[in-house]
Structure 1
Amino acid sequence: MGVADRLEFRLLGPVEVWRGPDRLAVSGRHQLSVLAALALCPGRAVSVGALVDAVWEGDPPTSARRQVIKLVSRLRGALGEVIATCPGGYLLDAEADQVDVGVFDSSIASARRLSATDPAGAAEAVREALRLWRGPALSGVTPCLTAQATRLAESRLAAVEDGIEWGLAAGGHAALVAELAPLVTEHPLRERLVGQLMLALHRSGRSTEALEVYRRIREQLADDLALEPGAQLQRLHLAILRNDSAAAAPVPQPEASPGGAVPRQLPCAVAGFTGRASQLKELTGLLDREGVVVISAINGTAGVGKTALALHWSHQVADRFPDGQLYVNLRGFDPGGPPVRPAEAIRGFLDALEVPAQRIPAGLAEQAALYRSQLAGRRMLVVLDNARDAGQVRPLLPGSARCLTVVTSRDRLGGLVVSEGARAVPLDLMTAAEARDLLASRLGPERLAAEPHAVHDLIELSAHLPLALSITAARAALAPALSLAELAKQLHDVRDRLRGLDAGDASVDLGAVFSWSYRTLGAAAARMFRLLALHPGPEISLAAAASLAGTERQHARAALSELTRAQLLTEPGANRFAYHDLLRAYSGETAHHEDNEQTRRAAVHRMLDHYLHTAHAAALLINPPNDRLPLAEPQPGAVVEELADDEQAWQWLTAERPVFPAVAECAAGAGFGCHAWQFAGSVASFCIRAGHWAQMEATQQVAVAAAEHAGDLRGKAWSLRELGRARIRLRRYREARASLCRALELDRRLGDLVGQARSLNNLGIVSYAEGSYPEALEQGNAAYALFRAAGHRAGQAEALNAIGWMRTQLGQHAEALRSCVRALELHRAVGSRHGEADTWDSLGVAHHNLGEHRRAVACYENALALYRKLGSRHPRADTLVRLGDTHQAAGDVRAAHRCWREAVLILDELHHPDADLLRTRLAAPTR
């Protein structure tokens, strides 16, 4: 390939591809993400699973692998055949010097080798390498590559520090002062840079300024973190005091422990955080406790700033925990719904640690053990925010002495202090000085200095409570023309109007503060604020908020933005909103006083229509053979999300999953029983496939009760059937059987043939799991007969494959073939590719047991081809194991081992224990 035809891949800035002087047309975040993932590993295979992970956060859509294949195909159209197919994935057929990351790394490595003999040349080589950077690395790709972008940014900064160090060694002190000053301003707590600036100033004859730099960092560390500078920086300070120009300043950075995902779950820190110096010092003191499990319990009244303190401190010390930070809001005192169950919180942590769903056990004790195993030996910070009590916290505590846990709660958590050795950090109301600092950080010291008496009044009227002070400051910032004295007068005038809100402290009257802020809102924002209390939380999307208000998205967005500016609402994610539980309680009270029952009920109806109709559309996209529910038309003003494909459907379901049980409970509590069971039924398939079985069980229990209360027998039967499916996955077969038998009885009373068939099919799964193969076969046959009588072809296909599988277990292999061939035809007719893949696998088992090895191999290969397209990793591994068994039975041991080795790779990716069993087979001597 000539120079003009040579491709160059640029990742150090916006992701681009160039051929000679021409930039090639590659666009779209997903396409750029696949390209970046391949270009980060030139010449090395990248699995399709890794490419899926590079594109989609959290649980990918079922079509993810198929979409990756399409994305690669489009890239080939733009770049030519530079992307090669290899076993299990793709590779970019390029040299490291065709990727700017490779050029950069190579240049820095060369500079380091040169530094021993020619530090000036090494420094110049670094400056040349840094010219490759055109902006933040990996710009324009999905957030899934954030960790890679962070790694590259850290590499760049480390190279900058190395180059400066070699420049200092070459004697370029004076010139480097100008370069270091802005770097230290940008990274004030990066002690290596600070030390280099001190050294450059000292060697330039500016020792006084060097000592001033040290004074500033020492004060900042003390104020922000209650820390002293590191030992090397202290030694440099002492050397400058002694006029020792030979002092050195490199400060080693902590390295992450190897292995595992590195989650960064901390929400944004509160802007303008001030005060709490003694608590910060106490928290920082915990960092020195080694060899024991360290727990800090921050407790105090509502709105006192527990979360703000925990997040501010956590962000300041995050670099001390290079293996990551975990965070969960346990919603212990949320008026909008029950506290988060420990199993749900642990599941979120295991997802963040990238533990596959297939490996997560059903029971809380087993999940907690797996969670502790994942954290063993790792340095991680775990923040458990807004805990209800010690019982909610205990299962979430890591067992590793290298981890530190911060818990916030209104409860004193005495049980943790006594039994777990937690360090209690009580948080009281702010002192007058702290409150003044908070107002000054938001309004500026000049404005406060002009009206000192008014500032005192505002602090007293806000009860020294950080939440109330923040709202007060927001009101003052939004009304710069008003004097602080006038604002204090307005607040004083409404103190007696609303006293219904009890924050658990008789000295705190938040009703006045909230009312005062609420009265400044425009009509649309005020109405939105009231209606948000009707949402069950913890977060609400723009579309759901628009449905509550019965307005268009842009109008809803304007109202929500006004609430955010007034500090009555936060925006934790793009187009997702939340507020403090005290504000939720106040908005609910206000809605009760200002909106009649008919208005509130209509808003809830629209909101429930949004969730039901969007969830049902999503369910049909991710699994086309799903049965359609007879939904009523949505109310005027309800906003139904327009989901283009299964990818968008999966993303919506993933984002809204935390609210599933609360929506069902809200519907049931408001008398919308049909919405409750239909919504629960719509999200069931997602929960099954994503592995959220405990949450599915909780949601279906609400649905069963709601349908029963409404006298809706069909809804009750449907919900009992889904409840049974959840319990099968949880391996609680006795309870699953009881639920399914109740569903079957109702189905028979209703004459619902499809419902009876589905209940029997699931009862067959229970019987199979319990080892009752003849009973399972009988139930499968009964299910097939009912599906056939109802003319339900997708159900017939499922039942026929189940019958075929059970016949293989009973040794009836010829009969199994006949059932599975018919199942295959029906699966193809209804477009169920998952069912088709499963049936090819069953056919392979039947042919293998008949000794028809060539036919078995062909069937397994067909199943594997579909599993690859669908991204079904665990079924693919199972089929590979069986394919290996067939090759071994046919005498081809080498082919068998190839299959088993490929299966081991997949099982290792899933952290599945069967991988070790398969390794044992591979290690066994062949005959």
Structure 2
Amino acid sequence: MSKQSNPEQLLQSILQNVQVGGDLTTGDINQILNLLVVFPNTFKTVGVPHNVPYSATVKFVGRTEVLKSLQQLLQQNKRIAIAAIEGMGGVGKTELATQYSLLHLLLQTYPGGICWLLARDEDVGIQIVRFAEVKLGWKVPENWDLAKQVDFCWSSWPEGDVLVVLDDVNDYSQVEPYLPPQLSKFKVLMTTRLKLDSTVTPLTLDVFNETEALELLSNWVGAEKVSKELVIAKDISQRLGYLPLALNLMGRYINKRKLFLPVALRRLEEKGLRHASLDVNKDDRTWTFNVQRGVVGAFELSWEELSDNAKQLGYLLSLFALAPIPWEIIKSVDIGQNVEELEDSRVELENLHLIESNEIYSTMHQLIRDFFQDKLTIFPEAEQLKKTFASVIAKISKKVPDTYSITANFIYTFAPIIPHIKEVSYYLSTYLADKELILPFKALGFIYENQLLYSQAEKLYKYGLNICQQRFKTDHELVATNLNNLAYIYKIQGRYSEAEVIYMQTLEMRKKLLGEMHSPVAQSLNNLASVYRKQKRYVEAETFILQALSIRQSLLGKNHIYVAMSLNHLGKLYYEQERYSEAESFYIEVLNICESLSRKNHPFKARNFDDLALLYKAQHRYSEAESLYLKSINIKKCLMGNEHITVAQSFNNLSLIYYLQGQYNKAEYLCLEAISIYEKKLYSTHPDMVECCENLENIRSAMISINPA
């Protein structure tokens, strides 16, 4: 390309050719990649929703043909294109997928968006829903299970081709249920170490050949040096197994130390180590390749370049999940370094390509994380570091409010921390102090409950229960708390018999541990009463609610939110038995408590308004019911947004109040508002949707009867 060439015009000509069906050649790709190196700030991508990760690669080496082949694979399939980049760790699978995504983001090949999903350590379904909410601005139905939420996302996706990238698939059966439908607009690209079955079109990504390896090495140490010491450069490449990650690390090492290549080779030969993650059996399903000795030698050489502080940061980073690591959490773990020292340590790790960072997050390659973890096993203070780290995550977990108080904004803000709480829950819980043990499980469970991901919450609570039982051996309050959380998951799904058994077990355990007069005992009584009420076992329910209320009033006084909750349960119980005057008195008492506690915008207060309004409707006190529904709607909008499912429920309830009073225009308007929200969040046969549509039909029939055409 001459100096006079206009990079924007050149890109535009390539773009126009591709858009009319022309082939994207290796020459085109090379030109674009060169333009990006020479004019990095010239090209901006706008209008395409994506979450493609950051790439620090200055010059992409040795994969131009693969990029072309990948494009052909993804476009040739007339149904769904699943091209799996298979290969061993460190060959650059993720980097290739990243460069392909960035290239075609620039070319606007996928106007429908590029959705990047981490397939190894995070739930793919949850990530798809998160992309739809954050990047597409949707409100995904909250009361559906995860599979239906994902189906909703795929079926509602905007027009235009879409690229879905599943990075680091280690269990295809876990991601297969979430793949998009068999529509030609969806192109699926996976990176994996696995050999997948014949239903997936593979693109095997091998290590570099010798020419490519030398080119990459030349980028770091200079073409002249490689040319003068070509035999030695070839030996270094061979010793590194032509592995791109190892070549990058070694190249940086040589460049930084300004070494002659024979010296670098001798040091590499002296290390002679192989990483365990690359030493695998060819007969298993993990992709294998006969890697040359010396791959981990490159890691060792880089490790030796680090200061003690940087090594200590490496130990800490190895404890996090394999996901973006928020720097705010890193800074909150006391490893004896101030903020500036931590920044210096981070720069050291970045300079040797051991991590990639920006202002907010740091990320690691799987092999580097494994390497750091291996080093941690010989770190004298490893046990204390794990305890410190686990304790910090437990404190962060404590910030998660109860299920009903979690807002959409909280989930969005807290999402980057969730993988690391999960890591501690499943792999580092033994390092939590007794009082901290339940906190990560409780936090994750509340988040899953709020998102209606009950199966995930159940699995988590069962695991946490097992951990608590192993540690405490006998009855313990934390065991009881875990049992209580598990029972709630059963109750909310209508599995009342299972919930009752566990709630009863929890009650007996708490009585034994704490005595009769204690708040957790009252909680268990209240929960059991709720299960009995759901089963219309009203006598038993009333007995348990009254016991819970008595305990709470004795311990907490009459003006407490927990007392209000028991009174509200009692009001519901009497309402369902048509004991309206008794129910009303309790609902009013609940409202007075809420007002006295200044809980202006609290979900429980909105529920109280709804319950009392329903009672007034049954008594034909429509104007009072109307006022309460309007107050409930204002609270829900403030907390959950204008299009939350509970707002739609209040719209529908209020429309019935207007319908019963003959105010059909108001009733029709609110019913249509409710249906508009339901259509975005519910499937057409959902009971709430069906009920709302039937209400609209009744309203319109009434309108016709009084004003026939």
Tell me the TM-score normalised to structure 2 length. Answer: 0.83
Residue 221 of structure 1 corresponds to: 28
Change (3 A) 1:193 1:277: closer
Residue 706 of structure 1 corresponds to: 467
Counterpart Cα distance in 2 of 1:836 and 1:514:
58
The secondary structure found in structure 1 opposite 2:563 is helix
Q: What pairs with 1:24-39 in structure 2 (closer than 5 Å)?
A: none
Counterpart Cα distance in 2 of 1:771 and 1:372:
40
The counterpart of 1:896, out of the listed 645, 660, 667, is: 667
Residue 566 of structure 1 corresponds to: 352
Residue 856 of structure 1 corresponds to: 625
Question: Is residue 393 of structure 1 aligned with residue 175 of structure 2?
Answer: yes
Superposed displacement of residue 305, structure 1:
1.6
Residue 689 of structure 1 corresponds to: 450
8 Å Cα contact 1:531-1:600 kept in structure 2 = no
Question: Is residue 602 of structure 1 aligned with residue 387 of structure 2?
Answer: no
Question: Is residue 845 of structure 1 aligned with residue 617 of structure 2?
Answer: no
Q: What pairs with 1:193-204 in structure 2 (closer than 5 Å)?
A: none
Show structure 1 runs of 5+ residues with no match: 1-176, 196-213, 227-253, 257-261, 332-338, 625-645
Q: What pairs with 1:784-795 in structure 2 (closer than 5 Å)?
A: 784-791=549-556, 793-795=560-562
The counterpart of 1:413, out of the listed 196, 203, 218, is: 196
Q: Which deviates the most, 914-923 or 513-522?
A: 914-923
8 Å Cα contact 2:320-2:420 kept in structure 1 = no
Counterpart Cα distance in 2 of 1:372 and 1:777:
46
Change (3 A) 1:729 1:490: farther
Question: Is residue 814 of structure 1 aligned with residue 586 of structure 2?
Answer: no
Counterpart Cα distance in 2 of 1:885 and 1:429:
67
Superposed displacement of residue 770, structure 1:
5.4
Question: Is residue 514 of structure 1 aligned with residue 289 of structure 2?
Answer: no
Superposed displacement of residue 909, structure 1:
4.9
Change (3 A) 1:460 1:299: same
The counterpart of 1:545, out of the listed 330, 344, 352, is: 330
Residue 678 of structure 2 corresponds to: 907
Q: What pairs with 1:497-536 in structure 2 (closer than 5 Å)?
A: 502-504=278-280, 505-509=289-293, 510-536=295-321
Superposed displacement of residue 680, structure 1:
2.5
Q: What letter matches 1:800 in structure 2?
A: L
Superposed displacement of residue 525, structure 1:
0.4
* Number of residues of Structure 1 aligned to a counterpart in Structure 2: 660
Counterpart Cα distance in 1 of 2:679 and 2:538:
31
The secondary structure found in structure 1 opposite 2:89 is coil
Render the CA deviation track for 1:737-760: whole Å, top value 9, x for unaligned.
444333223222223632233234
Change (3 A) 1:566 1:740: farther
Render the CA deviation track for 1:698-724: whole Å, top value 9, x for unaligned.
432332122212217111111222223
Superposed displacement of residue 536, structure 1:
4.1
Q: What pairs with 1:581-592 in structure 2 (closer than 5 Å)?
A: 581-592=366-377
Change (3 A) 1:536 1:293: closer
Change (3 A) 1:356 1:812: farther
Superposed displacement of residue 395, structure 1:
1.0
Counterpart Cα distance in 2 of 1:888 and 1:427:
65
Question: Is residue 922 of structure 1 aligned with residue 696 of structure 2?
Answer: yes
Q: What letter matches 1:615 in structure 2?
A: S
Superposed displacement of residue 825, structure 1:
1.7
Q: What letter matches 2:509 in structure 1?
A: L
Question: Is residue 743 of structure 1 aligned with residue 517 of structure 2?
Answer: no
Q: What letter matches 1:320 in structure 2?
A: T
Q: Which deviates the most, 535-544 or 289-298?
A: 535-544
Counterpart Cα distance in 1 of 2:128 and 2:528:
30
Counterpart Cα distance in 2 of 1:918 and 1:402:
34
The secondary structure found in structure 2 opposite 1:803 is helix
Q: What letter matches 1:297 in structure 2?
A: A
Superposed displacement of residue 907, structure 1:
3.1
Counterpart Cα distance in 2 of 1:885 and 1:453:
85
Change (3 A) 1:390 1:653: closer
Residue 434 of structure 1 corresponds to: 212
Question: Is residue 312 of structure 1 aligned with residue 86 of structure 2?
Answer: no
Render the CA deviation track for 1:257-292: whole Å, top value 9, x for unaligned.
xxxxx7412213462222234433332222442532
The counterpart of 2:419, out of the listed 658, 670, 674, is: 658
Superposed displacement of residue 378, structure 1:
5.8
Counterpart Cα distance in 2 of 1:685 and 1:823:
25
8 Å Cα contact 1:660-1:699 kept in structure 2 = no
8 Å Cα contact 1:362-1:731 kept in structure 2 = no
Counterpart Cα distance in 1 of 2:402 and 2:695:
42
Counterpart Cα distance in 2 of 1:771 and 1:443:
78
Counterpart Cα distance in 2 of 1:358 and 1:559:
44
Counterpart Cα distance in 2 of 1:448 and 1:767:
79
The secondary structure found in structure 1 opposite 2:437 is helix
Q: What letter matches 1:583 in structure 2?
A: I
Residue 887 of structure 1 corresponds to: 658
Superposed displacement of residue 412, structure 1:
0.4
Counterpart Cα distance in 2 of 1:755 and 1:909:
39
Change (3 A) 1:305 1:876: same
8 Å Cα contact 2:164-2:187 kept in structure 1 = yes
The secondary structure found in structure 2 opposite 1:408 is strand
Q: What pairs with 1:463-474 in structure 2 (closer than 5 Å)?
A: 463-474=241-252
The secondary structure found in structure 2 opposite 1:264 is coil
Change (3 A) 1:735 1:789: same
Render the CA deviation track for 1:356-407: whole Å, top value 9, x for unaligned.
454453365x455445534597632111111113312321221223211112
Residue 797 of structure 1 corresponds to: 564
Q: What pairs with 1:175-574 in structure 2 (closer than 5 Å)?
A: 181-184=6-9, 189-191=14-16, 220-221=27-28, 223=30, 263-269=49-55, 271=57, 272-318=59-105, 319-331=108-120, 339-341=121-123, 343-344=125-126, 347-348=129-130, 351=133, 356=139, 358-359=141-142, 361-362=144-145, 364=147, 366=148, 369-374=151-156, 379-399=161-181, 400-414=183-197, 417=198, 420=199, 422-479=200-257, 481-495=258-272, 502-504=278-280, 505-509=289-293, 510-546=295-331, 547=333, 549-571=335-357, 574=359
Residue 37 of structure 2 corresponds to: none
Q: What letter matches 1:704 in structure 2?
A: L
The counterpart of 1:783, out of the listed 529, 537, 548, is: 548
Render the CA deviation track for 1:16-47: whole Å, top value 9, x for unaligned.
xxxxxxxxxxxxxxxxxxxxxxxxxxxxxxxx
Counterpart Cα distance in 1 of 2:177 and 2:403:
37
Change (3 A) 1:887 1:671: closer
Change (3 A) 1:220 1:426: same
Counterpart Cα distance in 1 of 2:72 and 2:19:
24
The secondary structure found in structure 1 opposite 2:90 is coil
The secondary structure found in structure 2 opposite 1:296 is strand
8 Å Cα contact 1:223-1:277 kept in structure 2 = yes
Show structure 2 runs of 5+ residues with no match: 34-44, 281-288
The counterpart of 1:615, out of the listed 397, 411, 414, is: 397
Counterpart Cα distance in 1 of 2:75 and 2:318:
44
Superposed displacement of residue 912, structure 1:
6.3
Superposed displacement of residue 822, structure 1:
1.0
The secondary structure found in structure 2 opposite 1:710 is helix
Change (3 A) 1:667 1:423: closer
Render the CA deviation track for 1:517-553: whole Å, top value 9, x for unaligned.
1101112101221332233443433243341624333
Counterpart Cα distance in 1 of 2:359 and 2:519:
42
Change (3 A) 1:516 1:279: same
8 Å Cα contact 2:129-2:150 kept in structure 1 = no
Counterpart Cα distance in 1 of 2:649 and 2:480:
33
Superposed displacement of residue 189, structure 1:
4.0
Superposed displacement of residue 568, structure 1:
0.7
| Superposed CA RMSD | 3.7
Superposed displacement of residue 427, structure 1:
1.8
